[in-house]
Structure 1
């Protein structure tokens, strides 16, 4: 296959992944605001899409980590990157279908690592950098966000205990709009850069850019637009899980969860850490649930999420390894992988249409759960 055509295919696939990342992770920014009624669902996703776009333009530190730190760019080809992207997209769609907020970032890392490992050997993967920039932050960041959210929630409820509940919650709903804006900016700053890094890596492996190059402006803009469009689509299956599955969210704890998670993500983006915004947002929500009451988290749901998190790297890695190996065989291999990826994606989409989850479904279910919680209290 002509090298230029292959690069175009890989860039298009990277933007497709960025789009799935957007709708897969909308819940990270907006689930708590929707759950408390601070923002209407359609308003929330439009608001988040615009701020994801803006956030994607603020920094390129994470993109540099992806393009020059995870794998040896001198030992892989665009076909290998293509295979890794296919692994990430398939895992994103599977977890979206079942409503599990797994990490799009880890799916991308897993796919890329698996494809590189099989195609070029284990020494082509910079495992020390993976541990330093990916694994350690992925463990530490959700814990930090959870602890900060727990403490913030406890403090918030104590400070507002004497205030009338309706006045207090109204104020925090207004605050949630600001914290949701910060969270959307943070998501764009961290997650859109991963696609920028992948496209830059592809251009480096094709010889179009010099090793160590920063993302060109057209790469930055296209990745920003792709994640914004995906965010606007909604991702309602995962919003339902984060909005009502983990804990019953009230306005004060929603504000604490969003602010804590956004702060952690923004700080990490500045340092070039490629975090999972899903893990951080989930950690903040669980921390805020524990801060409101000891039994405030549904650990069964949290356990299923944890299993998905543990499976993400190896599952995406296996698919990426197979896809990368096949794609590396030449034109027939690239076409075969592309066809299989499209068929799998189409099947998952058709299955999702059998039991669609729409914004009104999410709002009704969250409202019913909140009413049940009030009666129980």
Structure 2
């Protein structure tokens, strides 16, 4: 008769891979929105650039974000299969509803961390929540990152406009149209590095809890599986979300698309290096808003932005509540 613990572990690992795929599926929107909005390349080529960048990311960045997810949210001893299953089910259900049904670019970082806290509290109470780590490496960065993204993108776009102020706009756009694929490539590398490490963190938590490893060190096979899951999702890309990102926040010209992607790359790369689980949703929307503001407040679609912000605010607490009750249900069923 199969060991129930092994079955729970396998199911939790499969859910982690599915979550990675879904993250890549929706994150294709963030990595390709700028280049598609400006028509710098065809959509299929944009997805190819993003996919290759996603795979290359694993050779550049380490596992600092994975360690934050694995050890900095809840106490290691409570990361059971049931906790992770409740976390991932809540994250996937909430994410599918908001990002696919309503086409809102939701933050997988928010729903994952919210779910992990909710399921963790259901399993061991509030005392197992690593409050200090969450505030320093999750809450503060998630709150400040959109504003940092706006400022950086606004500044870079302003410098570009100043540098090309005496040249025809057509010449400037033509030059940056050629540079955009490179900017998208860098964005895909840093975006996938941050996202894949969240999956790595969840899978490594499971391996540690069930005794397959003795300390929190990400196994090589977990790295490979996580990046493949993300890249596979990118291939199929969430085109409804791409439309929201590429057309409904602000109109994007080639130099602005370049500025948005480069700004996002800088922030996400720094976050991956420092072990901060950053939301590419926040960063992408922030940089798009920053480049739009260089044309004035009217260049930004504030109605769409308000809907996105409300989705950000509600995602973590709603995911936490859902994960809390899912954990209780799983314990009853099992």
Q: Name the TM-score, length of structure 1 as normaliser.
A: 0.85
Deviation at 1:315, TM superposition (A): 1.3
How is 1:1-377 mapped onto 2 (pairs within 5 angstroms)?
2-58=4-60, 59-97=62-100, 98-211=102-215, 213-329=216-332, 332-333=333-334
In 2, the alpha carbon distance for the partners of 1:24 and 1:245 equals: 16
On the 8 A contact 2:79/2:205 being kept in 1, the answer is no
Gaps of 5+ in 2: none
Q: Which residue of 2 aligns with 1:364?
A: none
Identify which range, 51-60 or 166-175, moves more after superposition: 51-60
In 2, the alpha carbon distance for the partners of 1:325 and 1:116 equals: 11
Deviation at 1:117, TM superposition (A): 0.6
Deviation at 1:75, TM superposition (A): 2.7
In 2, the alpha carbon distance for the partners of 1:43 and 1:139 equals: 33
Deviations along 1:218-247, one digit per CA (max 9) or x if unpaired, are 100000000000011111111111101100
On the 8 A contact 1:24/1:92 being kept in 2, the answer is no
In 2, the alpha carbon distance for the partners of 1:172 and 1:293 equals: 21
Deviation at 1:139, TM superposition (A): 1.5
In 2, the alpha carbon distance for the partners of 1:50 and 1:328 equals: 41
In 1, the alpha carbon distance for the partners of 2:305 and 2:324 equals: 29
On the 8 A contact 1:257/1:285 being kept in 2, the answer is yes
Give the direction of change, closer, same or farther, for the CA distance of 1:119–1:141 in structure 2 (3 Å limit): same
On the 8 A contact 2:79/2:206 being kept in 1, the answer is no
On the 8 A contact 2:49/2:181 being kept in 1, the answer is no
On the 8 A contact 1:88/1:104 being kept in 2, the answer is yes
Structure 1 segments, 4+ long, off by >3 Å, are none
Deviation at 1:293, TM superposition (A): 2.7
- Is the partner of 1:208 in helix, strand or coil? coil
Deviation at 1:165, TM superposition (A): 2.2
Deviation at 1:265, TM superposition (A): 0.7
On the 8 A contact 2:119/2:324 being kept in 1, the answer is yes
Gaps of 5+ in 1: 334-377
In 2, the alpha carbon distance for the partners of 1:96 and 1:107 equals: 12
Deviation at 1:164, TM superposition (A): 2.2
